[in-house]
Structure 1
Amino acid sequence: MTEENPAGTPTGEPAGEPTGPLAGKTAIVTGSSRGIGAEVARLLGAAGAGVVVNYRQKAPRANKVVAGIEAAGGRAVAVGADLTAEGGAQALVDAARDTFGGLDILVLNASGGMEADLGEDYAMRLNRDAQVSMLEAAVTAMPTGSRVVFVTSHQAHFIDTVPTMPEYEAVARSKRAGEDALRQRQPELTGRGISLVVVSGDMIEGTVTATLLDRARPGTLDERRSDAGRLYSVEEFAAEVARMVTADVPTGHTEYVGGADHMQ
């Protein structure tokens, strides 16, 4: 397993020759020490990509994800970086270049805002400002043919037309603001030969957000299961996110995963 020094800088080189459809490619997956991000990282690693696994505080979780990718014959490195802090985004890009030689895939999975101890503006700083900062740092290293995948929720994507529960509204509006800010950069991305794809999902079984919402309003998950027919698991949703990395879709495409028909 790749080790890190206390500052979070990767040291050492992953072993083995890459194989698979993403062999020779490098991916950054933000917020990938657990949940959807960790599973996306695993899938991209299994497809041959070198993967930068990003965490904010929980290094052991990220190292476990790296160990799993490497045990399956893949290549990965764990990098501690707070995307809301100055230099956080650049640290991930530097790790991609230094460890794997470049950057071809950026999966913007990190999100939050329901935390009670990180400030009233944390949702907007993470879900909008940090997404833009990460994109701006990444595009300087991404060649023609690269792809950016932004992960969001139906509750955020449709917030301007479909109300969500009050407990989630601030997060939803900040994530929609992040999506809008990224889409505003499509002309620049197109000029660089980089495509942008948005993946929007319903509540996902087992995620932190779904758990917090169900805790704030008991019965929320049962209600969504009833309305949508079923909810995707972390593994199922992550597979859809990973699929969009190479899917033959135009830039700006939105992929709806589960239960969006009644919102459109």
Structure 2
Amino acid sequence: MGALEGKAAIVTGSSRGIGAEVARLLAAEGAAVVVNYRQKAPRANKVVARIEEAGGRAVAVGADLTSPEGAQALVDAAKENFGGVDILVLNASGGMETGLGEDYAMRLNRDAQLNMLAAAASAMPAGSRVVFVTSHQAHFIDSVPTMPEYEPVARSKRAGEDALREQLPALEAKGISLVVVSGDMIEGTVTATLLDRARPGAIEARRADAGKLYSVEEFGAEVARMAAADVPSGHTEYVGGAESFLRQAQPEG
């Protein structure tokens, strides 16, 4: 019996990378998981197959979270397959892609997060947990500058975090807690790769400043841990390399 036995989880953006690892780990603790993908069904099906081979339960659901129907499709799948939603991991993010419109980062990193929360909260019982995944570069953007190439994404993710935090009173009235997980650049992720391509040496510079950068597996484990961690609603969990950001955000004197 895992710690999440009998629980149902939705993990957005979970066909690869951090989201896939979080889905796998939640399932390993007993949760039934909705694995979300936008376009790559075969990749999501592989995540589901891996979970099922390990004895877990999961279903892959295609949904574009920037569309009005996307969020509800995930909630409907959780209710139909697993009876409800107890854990919502808001992992899907982006904005460095080309050809999706100038407002895509804000639509995905703020508007879609709010829509997903609204859809899920209506099906979540007291005691449920929402986990929002962000980056130090976004979390601290109002006080610590980031690379120009990443700033629009960082500001949209910070806008998403702020919008979610505005929902804290309503969530707490329902007995639903919200936790934010903020991480440094993660080795092997699409965002880190794109940033290093736009600014060669960016990953190495962050690694030197932070001492080390977490892998997808290491960071995914920290996100999954927060799904049931004994922390208060509104808590921010800093994962790796936050010391330099905290020093700059709170200068001495």
* TM-score of the superposed pair, with normalisation by structure 1: 0.93
CA deviation profile, 1:143-175 (whole Å, cap 9, x unmatched): 000000000000000000000000000000000
CA deviation profile, 1:202-230 (whole Å, cap 9, x unmatched): 00000000000000000000100100000
1:176 corresponds to: 158
Question: Offset at 1:262?
Answer: 1.3
Matches within 5 A, 1:1-264: 19-264=1-246
Give, as a single letter, the amino acid of the residue that structure 1 aligns with 2:132: F
Q: What is the rounded CA distance, in whole Å, between the counterparts of 1:148 and 1:21 in structure 2? A: 17
Q: What is the rounded CA distance, in whole Å, between the counterparts of 1:80 and 1:250 in structure 2? A: 32
| Partner SS for 1:118 | coil
**Structure 1 vs Structure 2 CA RMSD:** 0.4
| Partner SS for 1:87 | helix
Q: What is the rounded CA distance, in whole Å, between the counterparts of 1:21 and 1:27 in structure 2? A: 13
Give, as a single letter, the amino acid of the residue that structure 2 aligns with 1:55: Y
Question: Offset at 1:20?
Answer: 1.3
Question: Offset at 1:47?
Answer: 0.5
Note the residue ranges of structure 1 that are not aligned, 5 or more in a row: 1-18
Question: Offset at 1:30?
Answer: 0.1
Give, as a single letter, the amino acid of the residue that structure 2 aligns with 1:80: G
| Partner SS for 2:149 | helix
| Partner SS for 1:163 | coil
CA deviation profile, 1:31-78 (whole Å, cap 9, x unmatched): 000000000000001100000000000000000000000000000000
Give, as a single letter, the amino acid of the residue that structure 2 aligns with 1:31: G
Q: What is the rounded CA distance, in whole Å, between the counterparts of 2:93 and 2:78 in structure 1? A: 21
Give, as a single letter, the amino acid of the residue that structure 2 aligns with 1:241: V
Q: What is the rounded CA distance, in whole Å, between the counterparts of 1:39 and 1:258 in structure 2? A: 18
CA deviation profile, 1:6-42 (whole Å, cap 9, x unmatched): xxxxxxxxxxxxx411111000000000000000000
2:249 corresponds to: none
Give, as a single letter, the amino acid of the residue that structure 1 aligns with 2:115: S
| Partner SS for 1:209 | helix
* TM-score of the superposed pair, with normalisation by structure 2: 0.97
Give, as a single letter, the amino acid of the residue that structure 2 aligns with 1:53: V
CA deviation profile, 1:71-110 (whole Å, cap 9, x unmatched): 0000000000000011100000000000001110000000
Q: What is the rounded CA distance, in whole Å, between the counterparts of 1:210 and 1:238 in structure 2? A: 15
| Partner SS for 2:188 | coil
